[in-house]
Amino acid sequence: MRLPRIVLASQSPRRRELLSLIGIDHVVQPAHIDETPFPGELPTVHSERLAREKAALIAAREPGSLVIGADTVVVAGEQILGKPGDDADARSMLRLLSGRTHMVYTAVAIACDDLLDSEVEGVSVSFRDLSDADIEAYVATGEPADKAGAYGIQGFGSTLVDGIQGDFFAVMGLPLRRLTALCERNGYRYAFGPLKYR
């Protein structure tokens, strides 16, 4: 078995932390793509398409490397909530999520040469009722600025959440069990440390 070079096609510090948490050494090469949803595109399809595009883009530049791509979307009703454009946009998203249950979908893709495979994890997240003062104070932390749905479950945003049903790490941005299963299905063995290729 050999140790493949692992490339994360994301600049997300949360995804870097999660890979390091489970002992997968990696380098970072963000994939810059247009993340605009296609007209009528379902959230799960949108998320998976972007994860695959990110992984494939970097894999084309890094032959022989195993590239991991991921994309997270927050969905309230039928509305996809991406990263807020500004503080006003963040406030609007948080008002929409207040006192409601929404879905978070994180797609993960792996690519290496001719290999491209992916899956999507869905998680139900419930928010407590947020006052205007809560929203103002949270936006003032700066945390919502670079996060889908304008919140991060691993930081100050954890206090906005009443509960979740599903994979906590998927809400953070990388479903670890689904990632390792995806790798194992394609010949990359995870044994509580570096990935090995059979």
Do 149 and 98 form a contact (C-beta atoms < 8 A)? no
**Alpha carbon of residue 13 to chain centroid:** 11
Say which residues have a Cβ less than 8 Å from residue 158's Cβ, sequence separation at least 6.
none
Query: For 143-171, b where at least 16 C-beta lie within 10 A, e where not — what string?
Result: bbbebbbbbbbbeebeebeeebebbebbb
The verdict on whether 71 is a catalytic residue reads yes
Bridge partners of residue 161, in order along the sequence = 127
Point out the catalytic residue in the list 34, 71, 86, 89: 71
Residues labelled catalytic = 71
